[in-house]
Structure 1
Amino acid sequence: MLNAEGRIVTWNTGAERFKGYSADEIIGEHFSRFFSPEDQAAGVPARALNAAAHEGRFEAEGWRVRKDGSRFWAHAILDAIYGDDGSLKGFAKITRDITEKRRLEQATYESALQLKMLVEGVRDYAIYMLDPRGQITSWNSGAQAIKGYEEQEVLGQHFSLFYTEEDRARDMPTVALESSLRDGKFEAEAQRVRKNGSLFWAHVVIDPIFNQVGEHVGFAKITRDITERKQAEQELRHTQEALLQSQKLQALGELAGGIAHDFNNLMTVMRGSADFLLRQPDLPLEKRNRYLSIMLETSERATSLTSQLLAFARRQPLEPEVIDLSVRLDAVGEMLQRTLGSLYGLKFDLAPGLWPVEIDPAGLEAALLNAVVNARDAMPNGGRITISTANSTREQGDGVLLSIRDTGEGIPPETLQRVFEPFFTTKPTGKGTGLGLSQIHGYAVQSGGSARIESEVGKGTLVELWLPRTHKQRQVDRASARHAGLPPGLRVLLVEDSEHVRYFARQLLEDLGCKVVEASDGQDALLVLQEREFDLVFSDIVMPGRSGLELATQIRLSHAELPVLLASGYSSKQFIPINERKFPILRKPYKLETLAAGINQLIGAPEEA
């Protein structure tokens, strides 16, 4: 406590510890002795008393002096005390030693100042901050140099200001911020717009910023102008195109030679068979049919060769459908495994919830088969092939990525750059036409996507097809569904362990007007059958635990009148000898018409004329 003149009248142990004086030494002394000589000379103690007396309180921070002459940074509060008659009786004084706090604040300030100077001094990179909504809160000299805006022009503006009209229409700024929050970082290369309207190529990185308690407070954005690099890449492409142009005659020669060789072989068979049939009019029927079969098979091979040429030339007429790529690939998996044989492992890593694509399914299966066969041929002693799918956003938009990776011998760099050329092959004569990878490339481009390949000798090969996302809905052949003539509201229990195939089968059944309940395995199906009634059970055969055959047999015992239709990608002969077969089996992959026909045949529903 101080009296009205500022002299000390009480002294606690905290004061003694802070300032070094005992009570006997300090009581009666003026409190100004704790102030620095500079503050005393400037009259700071008197102003503090005067302010507290007139305003009731004085609060400040500043240097104070201990008994030993050392200084500390203090936070001081001086409250006036009045008597009942309103006269000033004295002051209550509270002092806190905040020297360490002051030191930390000063260190933080100096560090922030150094960082600010560093960021401000960088001119090759645009470095600035965004708030959580994407509005600009800071701007460095590099940002001004690259984008042309002064700081006062952009502070408070949304960073979409730098995007092209097309990217803003696709809401790419929002996608970038959401990706940064979700993945911890967003990185991309794209065109951006300067203040004068000119475009430049930018490499962009956006990082989310969080405070000490984990709250999201904004984004750090770094942009680098890579226009010169892109121009250099474009010049390199022009040079490569010129080189390819110089190689065109060589490619045309290989193309003509390949076509002539393959078609000469096919025409030799056709001409020889036709000539033999004309010269032998009385040929027994069995031999005549054999020659006709050979001619038919040869014509189909010629058609396939023409189709692959058209696909490479991007002239093959496509019949696109909106499909889920994972579902489609899951359905052809067993066929591909049979094609490979027992020496080769085939693994599927199919992402659920893929974006839909609009492609020709037959062309897709042909491209996939070509890639798998090429992979198999690159692994003469066996190996593993992995087929995977994933959603993929690229500069040209959203799409789906189909990857086929093998553990084979790999392709040398000098060969890799030519693998998409027609009739270019490293296989021995008679072992391949050289159209496999060119068909994949042609199909991808004709579908609006792209194909790429990467390989390293001794480490295998990766083939990727990127197919653009569609926002169209899957078209259902309603006429076929009506023609199927299934009883309306047919209650079907669908049993399938593959999530993708189960989803696909459910869509078909619902398109046929069925009410579908799903079960993921045989045990689950038996539990559902105890609780609900159904008109039909449609089950896969190969499932973990209880197989489809075991499930069908159990249903026959407990629900004797309930029809069961089984499905499998394998031949039914592998499971049940024909003379012992008790349940009809539908071959995978099936479509709406074959599924409807199988159900109709089982339940005996009359088809419409």
Structure 2
Amino acid sequence: MALRDSKNDAGLTEWAALWAQATFDLAVFALTPEGIVASWNPGGTSIYGYEPGEIIGQKYAALFPDDVDPVNTSDAELREAVKRGSCTIEGWRKRKDGSVFWASVMTTVLFAEDSSLRGFVKVVRDESEKRHSHDAVIESERSFRLLVQGVSDYAIFMLSPNGTVTNWNLGAQRIKGYTAEEIVGSHFSRFYLPEDVAAGIPARALSTAAAEGRFEAEGWRLRRDGSRFRAHVVIDAIHDEAGTLIGFAKITRDVTEKREADQILEQTRAALFQAQKMEAIGKLTGGVAHDFNNVLQILRGNLELVTSRYSRDEWLTTRLVNALDAVERGAKLSSQLLAFGRRQALRPVSVNLASMIRGMDDLLRRALGETVMVETVVAGGLWNAMVDTHQLENVLLNLAINARDAMPDGGKLTLELSNAMLDDRYVRALSDVPAGQYVMLGVTDTGTGMTDEVLEHAFDPFFTTKEEGAGSGLGLSMAYGFVKQTGGHIRIYSEVGHGTTVRIYLPKSSADAYVPVTHGSTALMGGSETVLVVEDDAKVQATVIAMMAGLGYGVLKADNAEQALAVLSSGVHVDLLFTDVVMPGSLKSPDMARQAVQLQPHMKVLFTSGYTQNAIVHAGRLDDGVELLSKPYSRAELAFKVRHVLGSPGEALSSANAEGSQERRNEPPELDILVVEDDDLAREAVVELLELLGHRPVPAETATRAFAEIARRPFDVLLTDINLPDMSGIDLAEQARSFCPGLSVIFSSGGPVEMNEGKTFAWFELLKPYTLDELEAVLGKIIDQGQRKQASL
């Protein structure tokens, strides 16, 4: 504006000067037309740091930073102000100390009445804080853009109010497959499945976000290549300051792997629950089977003993055979329970399953009948499998019978064999199935199929959909337990009306296939060896002893492991230790057997049990070198197994001479024998052997007790240990002969008998451990001596 020489203008100038001098937050100063500082207020000192005397007379360019060409910059600013009459700009300015600040500069041009340039008035505000805030916002926005663009695990993009994509980050490109150029401007519904678009799901998502501020859901989405992925989607509504909807922020996460992991976790939990349930039921059924087998053993053993004695009575024989058939059915039921409970004693070998199935062809066709057609499909290059063939044959037969029952009007049964690889992905949800190579045995029928509810309980013991009495409900349970114990996997696929497929995966074997040895029919074999029977069930024990004696064996007994070791330590020779696996007490049967063999290295060991409890079965298979006779067993099975373990053919034993051998053991006693032994179990064992040989033994634990017995009655023989607690056995024999003239003496000792020269009576020696035959031989000599004396009289 132009300055006028009037009183009002003078007053105004005065007021302006007063305002400038009173202002501290604004720098107010004047410049000459040449850009020389002509005045300076306190605000200039506060902002720039110059006192008036330091800056007045200096070029305006002194207030500009050195890096902007101060002279040219300041001159250009003033020229622009002259051109426009005034101007307001922002820029960097320099303080006295050289520091810079961000300034808002308003320049007013002063003209004279003749329009000549009188100078300039500068009003400067320090806007550093505002600039810093602005820069921070800019930097924040830049960082946010970089952050959004740098996120690769999430698709982050903006939508217009109508759902058009307005921007696109790298995560969206990675997940959905589109570049920003391909997708910006398109409607976001193109990511949805066609059926979801038709159902209005994209529009409903936007309307929900607009109404409620947020929409969140999971669903299937499409990638650029047409593949599907599971997406977790969040849509947030964006409003301006006035509350107007300006668009949506959309975040999409690919949760396909998480969904699969959740499904696998759920399957794993279900499988674990099923495995725990099966394990619990298996333990229960195993325990029941153990007790049940003991009962069956008593029944079977006694029935067979009666049958052998009364075989000529046709009426009685028929009923005994019927009873034995019932025991056999009970034994089969018990075997199935043990199979389900994974408590069988398996003997897996390397098997060619194709050969095994061919060998079962006639059996399967007889079991299935003429209305069912059987087809076998074998893949080329079939591996061998590691499996117990006898148990697998039972499983296959059970599956075939189940298939037959599901095809009442006939159908087709397909047996399939092939190599299979169960990879990590497949077994991820199966806690007890390792990944690896298997041989797959598939059994497929064209029957009625199963519902989902039936499939869920198919492996449960006693679960059946058959009519009452038509099945035990243990066929699939037995198959399940056997396969699991073998280290394999079993799975059922079924659809109502379309049949059922059972697939069994058995561990691959790299060994050559085992060729079984066939045994022809042989006569019942017995022997004369000594057997120690260790059994805690008194009735089972009595039955076994009778069966062993009927086969001609000398039998000793023990109620537990501790008693068995005591008998073996006494010096009595034992050829075979026949022991139950599961017995009470701290000393387990396998440990007892190991100690027993150390005591008598020649001795063989045969275990028997209805339930092994993993004592001699580990990793689903019988321990190496262990022989087991499972309860309940028949007399023939017992005879065969004993001879097999003893390693010799034995003596052929018909029913008649088997009965005769029992009668020979029960002939009237010939000798009264005083048995002096301080070890209780050893004494009891010797007494049983003497009774078995038909004599009348009387036990005594000390020499004092022996003298008391001699005072009551005469004896033919004194059988005494050398080391007694109250007297030497030799001194006992010398004194006893004075009471019983003609008394024969047998010394039983663990070492040679050292007789003093003063002892002149005749005696016999039995070196511990001695056999039943050795004992019988010594007694035979005594009997012969007595008979010769009698003949000479």
TM-score of the two chains, using structure 2 as the length reference: 0.29
Query: Larger Rg: 1 or 2?
Result: 2
TM-score of the two chains, using structure 1 as the length reference: 0.37
